[in-house]
Amino acid sequence: MPTLQELANPSVLTQPVYEPGKPIEDVARELGLDPDGIIKIASNENPAGPSPLGIEAARRALAQAQLYPDGGCVALRAKLAEKWRLSPEQFVVGNGSNELLELVGRVFLRPGDEVVMGAPAFAVYKLVALLFGAKPVEVPLVNHTHDLAAMLRAVTPRTRIVYYASPNNPTGTINNAGEILDFARALPPHVVLVFDEAYTEFVEADGDAPDIRPLIAEGRHVIGLRTFSKLYGLAALRIGYGYASEEFAALLNRVRQPFNVNAIAQAAAIAALDDHDFTARCVRENKSGLAQIEEGCRELGLECVPSRANFMLVKVGDGARVFDALQRRGVIVRPLRGYAMPEWIRVTIGTAPQNEKFLKELKQVCA
């Protein structure tokens, strides 16, 4: 009898696996720590918690949990259309923006195609390319920022997708908004640009985020991806969306699963879009936290990368050792060996007390 591995698609056996940050409960159990004394600043979650309006709407939606969700996310797409001044048909909603990254690959990638991305960039870009038999073409960053000219040079007749994130994960950096739009317009027509805006709300308040809607209006093959996981604090509910031309959105809707987004998440997302006081406060506190971490690292003599997102890179020498030592002290951060940055850790901006605890324990570990 053949084994399951012998029956499996050969590409599955070599497919890399995404490694998420450890939950607080797992760390507490493994290390014998009190979970109430642990802070998790590893996965870029919102330290202020979820949107209060979103949670209130989610609780109401639970009362009808016996019903299937709206398979077309009609109410949410209408709300998004109002927010962005686009048509509802220009939106597609996913089980987090991660699902949308995969749907783009499902629609446009064939074995042998090429996918251009920065290096380092969000790990899922490479995973999606490999999943569909495409070749990841990784273009090194310059000063921790996308090298747009080099990315253009990396495009060939076999390129089908370019993934670009602003701010970039894991570096937190951005390019000039005008340069990004020029880059998009310079791409040849056989290339789809996936513009990942998971952290862009932290930049928009300063007016530094590009608006890709003109690109859509020009007929460019571009899609913007947003998430409710970061600023809105709804990561546990897994909901994100993309906006593009009606044709682009229709193609993604053809390949997504029915009822891919649950009713509780949809209700929370609709309400969270109106939670302006909460999101404005989160942006302000994040900016203050970035300054707190940067100043603290400077006092410790540690290099960090100025960030425009809700996380920061810190160069600590041996990222794996510092990660382990901090974890034993009740502080969970993200080591970056998987991003080919073994000397660095990525720390999510927490509350002021959480940031203070991180810096205090980091000082002890680095001593």
Cα–Cα dist 38/28, whole Å: 8
Q: Considering 228, 244, 272, which residue would you say is the last residue of a domain?
A: 272
Helix 319-328 / helix 24-31 crossing angle, nearest 10 deg: 80
Tens-binned pLDDT, residue by residue, of the chain (367 aa): 888 887 888 888 888 887 777 789 999 999 999 999 999 999 999 999 999 999 999 999 999 999 999 999 999 999 999 999 999 999 999 999 999 999 999 999 999 999 999 999 999 999 999 999 999 999 999 999 999 999 999 999 999 999 999 999 999 999 999 999 999 999 999 999 999 999 999 999 888 999 999 999 999 999 999 999 999 999 999 999 999 999 999 999 999 999 999 999 999 999 999 999 999 999 999 999 999 999 999 999 999 999 999 999 999 999 999 999 999 999 999 999 989 999 999 999 999 999 999 999 999 999 8
Residues 179 and 254 reside in one and the same domain: yes
Residues 71 and 31 reside in one and the same domain: no
Residues 297 and 180 reside in one and the same domain: no
Residues 30 and 152 reside in one and the same domain: no
Give the domain CATH number at 19: 3.90.1150.10
Residues 96 and 19 reside in one and the same domain: no
DSSP per-residue letters across 46-75: -TT-S-HHHHHHHHHHHTTTTSPP-TT-HH
Residues 135 and 33 reside in one and the same domain: no
Residues 178 and 137 reside in one and the same domain: yes
Residues 6 or more apart whose CB falls under 8 angstroms from that of 184 comprise 193, 195, 212, 215, 220, 222
Q: Which domain holds residue 340?
A: 4-49+276-366
* Number of domains into which the chain is organized: 2
Cα–Cα dist 126/136, whole Å: 6
Beta pairing, strands 311-315 & 331-332: unpaired
Residues 19 and 119 reside in one and the same domain: no
Give the domain CATH number at 195: 3.40.640.10
| Chain position carrying tokens 């056996």 | 13
Residues 136 and 78 reside in one and the same domain: yes
Residues 316 and 197 reside in one and the same domain: no
Q: Considering 227, 245, 272, which residue would you say is the last residue of a domain?
A: 272
Helix (H, G, I), strand (E, B) or coil at 242: strand
Q: Considering 224, 240, 272, which residue would you say is the last residue of a domain?
A: 272
